[in-house]
Amino acid sequence: MLTIFLAALFGFVLLSVPIAFALILTTLVMMFFMHAISPALLIQNIFRGIDSFPLMAIPFFLLAGEIMNVGGISKRIVLFAKALLGHVTGGLGYVTVMASMLFAGVSGSAVADTSAIGSLLFPIMRDEGYDTKKSAALFSSAGCIGPIIPPSIPMILYGVIANVSIVKLFLGGIVPGILIGLGLMFIWYLHARKKHYRAEGKFSFRVAAKATVSAFWALLLPIIILGGIIFGIYTPTEAAVIAVVYATIVSFFVYKELKISDLPKLLINAGKSTAVVMLVCGTATTAAYLITTAQIPALLASTLLNLAGNSTIILMLVVNVLLLLVGCVMDLTPALLIMAPMLLPIVTKFGLNPIYFGVVMVVNLCIGLITPPVGNILYVGCSISKLSIAELVKAIIPNILIMIAVLFLITYVPATITFIPNLLSH
């Protein structure tokens, strides 16, 4: 049954059937082999996969991101990072990483992070004579921090599937996100040293103070979102809707860059992105229902058990390699939604913490966003930088390697993930 599932899914996907529809077809194939074809059961499970209050955080975070880009909030975040780090040698590279990390604190999506920061900073870096390929590689890989530092759309999805606390998953992503940011800065440092970039200007307290004041309302947003979630004042969904209202008010009244006439377009854009993610979520729920009924996790478990023996170290190695391979050919959302229901029963059987596993999985599949041949962020990076995929891929390899190094660090030192959630769990 596992073979049928995989052959059908990859067959349909390779034929260029969109993944949501490929999942429906795969479910039908499995129903056929199990002699239990039921169109009503199929759509019923799609509804079940969508009808959830926690998942409503996804449209709200997507909408907040759209508003921040149009309303000047993203721009203030970039200018703030530039005033602090712009004067160091190769400074704009560190600015890119820092701005991506700050933006990750308000956005839960890598595409939003990459397009916001990349489209603001890449033209400046190019004009100031930075290596275009390395700059594009940097903002693309830094954008992958978006769903690792909370809030995080993939973690919301995982939390709902695995029925674990989304807040704890969010908290677990903080240290891995910072580690990846530092790793990327280190790679950039090596590059900047080799290229002998000159330092531009001096640190000016006046400029820094001005940028901080101007960015004050923008910087308050991650504090409002994360602070409220961490201290249990409101749920992630409520935090997301607060982010929408707050971003609208600040963009409209303080920065005066958002017009009422912009709102319909932003709602439609975010609504469409929501539908794309949620349709995969719904159809993956149907597929997952059949995966469970067909006892595929048990089959997979015995295969992995043979490979790993009783060693969680080998198990996590196998799982990580498997997920990295899946990430090469599949986008983050579908990969997460398809693989999580299969792997979760196995790792819990091995006694691993589902929060820990969720964070590892999200970090792993985020790397998949920049690994060829299929990587959504590679496409975003290419469209912003006008480079070819091949040029960008070549330049991004060191960044991928450092991210894999961080992945294995957090995998084998679980405290990096679990420390903060344990500290703050009441």
Partner 1 sequence: MEQGRAPGGVIMNLRNGIEKVLNVIIIVMFAGMVIIVFSNVVARYFLNAALAWSDEVSRFMFIWLVFVGAIVAYMKNDHLGLDILVKYLPKTASRILVVIADILVLFALSILLKGGIDMTLDSFASGWVSSAVSLPYGYIYMVGPISAFFLILEGILKIVSDLKSVFETRIGGR
State the residues that interact with partner 1 by CB under 8 A: 12-22, 24-25, 28, 38-44, 46-47, 50-53, 55-56, 59-60, 63, 233-234, 237-238, 241-242, 244-245, 263-264, 267-268, 270-276, 278-280, 282, 329-331, 333-334, 373-374
Output 13 or 226, the one with its CB closest to partner 1. Answer: 13
* Shortest Å distance, C-beta 365 to partner 1: 14
251-270 per-residue burial string, b: 16 or more CB within 10 A, e: under 16: bbebbeebeeebbeebeeeb
User: Count of H helices and E strands in the chain?
Assistant: 21, 0
Output 56 or 97, the one with its CB closest to partner 1. Answer: 56
* Shortest Å distance, C-beta 334 to partner 1: 6
CA distance 28 to 40: 12
Show Cβ contacts of residue 398 under 8 Å, excluding neighbours closer than 6 positions: 187, 190
* Shortest Å distance, C-beta 356 to partner 1: 27
Output 335 or 359, the one with its CB closest to partner 1. Answer: 335
CA distance 62 to 277: 11
* Shortest Å distance, C-beta 396 to partner 1: 19
Output 21 or 350, the one with its CB closest to partner 1. Answer: 21
* Shortest Å distance, C-beta 337 to partner 1: 11
CB atoms within 10 A of CB 30: 24
Residue 113 and residue 68 in contact, taking contact as beta carbons nearer than 8 Å:
no
Residue 397 and residue 148 in contact, taking contact as beta carbons nearer than 8 Å:
no
Output 155 or 278, the one with its CB closest to partner 1. Answer: 278
Question: Which DSSP string corresponds to 388-425?
Answer: -HHHHHHHHHHHHHHHHHHHHHHHH-THHHHHHHHHH-
Angle at the Cα of 374 from the Cα atoms of 408 and 6, rounded to 5 degrees: 85
Output 120 or 340, the one with its CB closest to partner 1. Answer: 340
Q: Is the peptide bond before 151 cis (omega within 30 degrees of 0)?
A: yes
* Shortest Å distance, C-beta 265 to partner 1: 9
